[in-house]
Structure 1
Amino acid sequence: MRLPPEHPRNRPQDSTHTLLRAYGTVAEVPDALAEDGEVSIPPAYLQRFRLAEKCFLHQRVHDPSKKSLVPNAFVGPNLEPEVTQKLA
């Protein structure tokens, strides 16, 4: 299924980050975008976002040495912007 260009998922990450900084919370961004008439937000958008967020927060991964599922481990501190730009 192809998403329309105005769908929030097609928004570049830098503009999404700007919106989050401007409105403070994820819950306020869809409402602000809908008020501006910039995009139409699906009715269950925020509910589905919260579900996805919980999935990532509580993600478990397979540990081959233990042969079982374990909580996803801390991967280390954030990388410097120069490093992430090279990785992108």
Structure 2
Amino acid sequence: MKIQSLRSLCAALLLGASAVAATPVFAHGAAPDRHGGVVQSANDMSFELVAAADGAVIHVMEGAKAVATETDGRKTTTVRFTIKEPA
């Protein structure tokens, strides 16, 4: 009887281990905000828009690694839209 119980225990452990190993891993979830801004992801790139005192800053990440971005003096223009409801 002990051998049968041991076989049943081994079979149950093997079945449980295979169920855990078959669980999918979701590696490409939403990226956390690292600088207190708004994050948008595309493929393995993440873009974080952060408000600054003199405008806005965009932080670019590739996976867990920061991508060096250099500025050449370009400026952005922010357009604000207001939708008026009919009276």
Task: Please report the TM-score for the alignment, with normalisation by the length of structure 1.
Answer: 0.22
Task: Pick 1 or 2: higher relative contact order, CA cutoff 8 A, min separation 6.
Answer: 1
Question: Relative to total residues, which structure has the larger strand share, 1 or 2?
Answer: 2
**Which of the pair has more CA radius of gyration?**
2
Q: Which has the higher helix share?
A: 1
